[in-house]
Amino acid sequence: MRFLLLCTDAYGGHGGIALFNRQLIASLAAHPECEEVVVVPRLIVTQERDSLSPKVQFDVLAARGKLAWLNAVRRHKRERFDLVFCGHINLLPAARLLPQPPLLIMHGIEAWKPTRRAFIHDLRGIVSVSALTRDRFLSWSHFNGPSYVLPNAVRLERYGIRAKRPDLIARWGLEGKRVLLTLGRIVAAERYKGFDDVLEVMPDLDRDVVYVIAGKGDDTDRLRRKARDLGVADRVVFTGFVAEDDKADLYALADVYVMPSRGEGFGFVLLEAMACGVPVIGSKHDGGREALRHGALGTLVDPANCAEIRTAINDLLRDGRREVPAGMEYFAYERFVERVHAIVDDVSGAPTAASASPPAAG
């Protein structure tokens, strides 16, 4: 089988979508019937692509700009592929230039409201990182083809409970402090992540509690002003960009990871924090509840309820335990590979046992 993936970014990229694409590429290459995986990325941050299977071929010319990417898609019209994956709904118009209908992958809020309606009538199927995103997409699109839930995965062996790095404690002035942490892009277009909600409860928390906001973006200055206005600027730390290799050490600094978001399609950072043994607070009202297995792995709160957020934070700080919750194996990378293969077999009609009942999210 030959697979084609049209995507935004993957290797060298940052964030949940890039990670999902890396895991998808590796899983497709590991399929027992795979001959080749051709990847057409909008962006290549680095030429280094880990220890990729020789079955994976990147169309590096595609990343030279929008026109170059479209030309790359057109080039691949002449090739035969058994399955075409469209890695983002915003790429769907270009994917429809290809002769075969694609399998559309959806990550979150971009698929919650009507968009690209003219391009969804003949999809091979849809794959969503959460049931929430799938259901919201179906509610407006009325798509009646195959649909699958493929939750994000975490490589548990890369995390685990570890000692706090003294240099990071010194860099951010965290000696003797209890630390709340949120990691994510700090951009005005994504104010649903919950930074504001945590800031608003900070005045009611003990003075030794510090809120670490990790990430960068165009909304940082506004959040700094808000912290000053709330009188907690001396207890809020903005780290800026955190390299991928430092993320596990960042989580190790936290006593509680808190993300009372309103628009997360899933919330991969919740998995990373839990894999580091950090107790986690997520949202009842977006994909975070699925990352926390509806409260089985962490605490769920209403992001609009400050009292609920404050109580959850205080309860977890008081408890003080660090442990990787039982049940994290549900999101292990090996399960992700199994799910990808089951989806491929089902969509392609391969006569395997897995294709008879592909795991929607199991």
The stretch 330-336 carries a mean pLDDT of 97
Note the pLDDT tens digit of each residue in 19-78: 899 999 999 999 999 999 999 998 876 554 556 789 999 888 888 889 999 999 999 998
The answer to whether residue 79 scores a pLDDT higher than 80 is yes
> What is the per-residue pLDDT for 87?
94
pLDDT band, very low/low/confident/very high, at 358 (cuts 50, 70, 90): very low
Note the pLDDT tens digit of each residue in 284-307: 999 999 999 999 999 999 999 999
Q: Which domains does the chain have, with CATH numbers?
A: 2-153+332-356 (3.40.50.2000), 157-325 (3.40.50.2000)
Helices 16-29 and 268-275 pack at an angle, to 10 degrees, of 80
Query: What does 242-256 look like in DSSP terms, one character per residue?
Result: --GGGHHHHHHT-SE
φ, ψ dihedrals at 237, nearest 5°: -115, 125
The stretch 278-288 carries a mean pLDDT of 95
**Do strands 56-58 and 83-86 pair parallel, antiparallel, or not at all (unpaired)?**
unpaired
Separation of alpha carbons 179 and 198, rounded Å: 12
Q: How many Cβ atoms sit within 10 Å of the Cβ of residue 310?
A: 18
Note the pLDDT tens digit of each residue in 112-130: 988 766 678 789 999 999 9
The stretch 322-332 carries a mean pLDDT of 96
> What is the per-residue pLDDT for 354?
36
Note the pLDDT tens digit of each residue in 191-237: 889 999 999 999 999 999 999 999 999 999 999 999 999 999 999 99
Helix (H) / strand (E) containing 135: helix 131-141
